Structures are given as C-alpha cells and as structure tokens.
C-alpha cells in the first residue's frame, strides 16, 4: 500500500516492518518502545481450576517449551532453526533472517513474563482509555509452573 502510494502512513510489526522493500521505501517515525517503553503484552494464561487439574502436564509442556526456546535461540543452531521455520511457513529462509536476532521480539530464556512491565503496560492502556479499569497483575500471576519447568530443564 505504501509503495503503491495508496496510503501515506502505516503501522507495522515484524516481519513486515523490516522487509528490504519496506525499508527502502519508507522510514520509521517511531516505535512502540519510543511511545510506551518496554512491552510485555503477550502472556500464557489459564484458569486456576485448569492449572490445578493439569499442573503436571503444564509443567511438562513448559519444560519442553523452554528447551525448544533455548535451542532455537542458540546461535549455533540458527541456520537450522531458520530452515525449520522457513519449511513450516513454506517460504525462503531469507524471509526469516531477522529471527532470533536483536531485530526479533525478545524471548526470556526462562520463559518468565516480565510482570513489572506487564503491569505498566496495562496501567498505560487504562490511562489512555483503552481499558475501562486496571488490574493488579501480581494478584493473578503464578509463575511457579514456569519456575519449576526451568529448574527441571536446567537439571537435565
């Protein structure tokens, strides 16, 4: 749309904002980090009763997730990791050159959410009128599952 002159301004996210054609034909005015600082808006959630009923399976899942996250993030596996993503997405590997670099989204190696930043983001959304009310993240957060999973992942 930008390159065809159909729009003058666009909001973009990965990977579209860093595609070579986009970079050649546009310029970044500001980023989300410029506007609101660090963000933590994507988190895994489950109801308390589901966690109680499935805790062992959830910890197993999170242990596997942490191991996978670490493998994909390890620079020695980068070429193979990008190849896996490219084959899955049915695209050329060059389309994913940003993956697992500083250009990509940050992923905590222990898979822990940054609850302090999440709280600030929710409060900001409330202040800007996107949310009717704010919530106390600490009241609802239980990172014990991911901590247990990370401990197991580190032991093996």
Q: Which H, E and C letters describe the chain, residue by residue?
A: CCCCCCCCCCCCCCCHHHCHHHHHHCCCCCCHHHHHCCCCCCCCCCCHHHHHHHHHHHHHHHHHHHHHHHHHHCHHHHHHHHHHHHHHHCCCHHHHCCCCCCCCCCCCCCCCCCHHHHHHHHHHHHHCCCCCCCCCHHHHCCCHHHHHHHHHHHHC
Give the pLDDT confidence score for residue 59 in this predicted structure.
97
Mean residue pLDDT of the chain comes to 90
Domain residue spans of the chain: 1-30, 31-155
Cis bond leading into 15, ω under 30°? yes
pLDDT (tens digit, 9 = 90+) per residue, 5-17? 888 888 887 777 7
Give the pLDDT confidence score for residue 22 in this predicted structure.
76
Nearest to 111 by CA among 72, 152, 63: 63
Distance of CA 108 to CAs 26, 45, 52, 90, 122, Å? Answer: 31, 16, 25, 27, 20
Split at pLDDT 50, 70, 90, the class of 106 is confident
Split at pLDDT 50, 70, 90, the class of 36 is confident
């Amino acid at each position: 749309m930008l390159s065809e002159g159909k729009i003058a301004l666009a909001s973009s996210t990965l990977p579209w904002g860093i595609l070579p054609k986009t970079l050649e034909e546009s310029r970044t005015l500001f980023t989300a980090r410029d506007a609101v600082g660090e963000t933590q808006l994507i988190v895994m959630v489950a109801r308390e009763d589901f966690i109680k009923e499935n805790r062992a399976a959830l910890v197993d899942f999170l242990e596997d997730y942490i191991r996978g996250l670490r493998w994909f993030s390890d620079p020695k596996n980068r070429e193979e990791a990008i190849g896996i993503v490219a084959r899955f997405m049915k695209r050329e590997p060059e389309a994913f050159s940003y993956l697992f670099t500083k250009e990509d989204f940050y992923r905590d190696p222990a898979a822990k959410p940054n609850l302090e930043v999440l709280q600030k983001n929710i409060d900001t959304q409330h202040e800007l009128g996107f949310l009717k009310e704010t919530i106390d993240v600490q009241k609802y957060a239980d990172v014990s599952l991911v901590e247990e999973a990370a401990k197991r992942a580190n032991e093996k």
